[in-house]
Amino acid sequence: MQIIHDYSMEGYEQRQTYNDFRDWLKEAINEMIEYNREEESYR
């Protein structure tokens, strides 16, 4: 599985490669948790 970032400069389109959907999902959930923690710290 590959994550492609559209509307980026040439050479920066491929953001990350994962072995399977489960690896990607785990990373996405972890990023969401971290983002929410950072947002809470600004309140």
Domain ranges, ordered by start, for the chain: 14-43
Q: Alpha-carbon distance 5 to 32, whole Å?
A: 18
Q: What is the pLDDT of residue 41?
A: 86
Q: Alpha-carbon distance 12 to 4, whole Å?
A: 9
Is this prediction's pTM over 0.75? no
Q: What is the pLDDT of residue 32?
A: 94
What is the full per-residue pLDDT of the chain (43 aa) written as tens digits? 666 667 767 766 667 788 999 999 999 999 999 999 988 887 7
Q: What is the pLDDT of residue 10?
A: 73
Amino acid occupying residue 35: Y
Positive or negative torsion for Cα 23, 29, 31, 33: negative
